[in-house]
Amino acid sequence: GQNIDQPTEMTATEGAIVQINCTYQTSGFNGLFWYQQHAGEAPTFLSYNVLDGLEEKGRFSSFLSRSKGYSYLLLKELQMKDSASYLCAVRDRGNTGFQKLVFGTGTRLLVSP
């Protein structure tokens, strides 16, 4: 089956660092995505990992360990605008060989002053 777990909610203060974890079990893994979603808006792409290791993009970094079925999103120098839901999604090959995203329930991050 497919299962993706991430914490429901996290809080942090402005300027701090926060790590959002994601564990997954899927049958046809081909990459892991992190999306950011503000309330009422479209999910927007943050990062993509397909090989083990760390991908850094500005204040955001994402890490993947395929053997452990584990990823994290690291947000540095938090800003108030980072308050949003963060969605972990695994790209699954599915039955047809094409790609579909399997999502976790999302982690709601609240950044306080």
Give residues in contact with other proteins (CB under 8 A).
4, 30-31, 33, 35, 40-45, 48, 50, 87, 89, 93-106
Cβ atoms of 37 and 43 closer than 8 Å: yes
Q: How far is the CB of 97 from other proteins (least distance, A)?
A: 7
Q: How far is the CB of 87 from other proteins (least distance, A)?
A: 7
Taking phi over 0 as left and psi of -120 to 50 as alpha, with beta for the rest, 103 belongs to: beta
Taking the least distance from each CB to other proteins, the nearer of 11 and 30 is: 30
Q: Taking the CB of residue 79, how many other CB atoms lie within 10 A of it?
A: 11
Taking the least distance from each CB to other proteins, the nearer of 20 and 78 is: 20
Q: How far is the CB of 18 from other proteins (least distance, A)?
A: 21
Reference 34, options 97, 109, 100, 103; nearest CA is 103
Taking the least distance from each CB to other proteins, the nearer of 45 and 59 is: 45
Tokens of 74: 């690291």
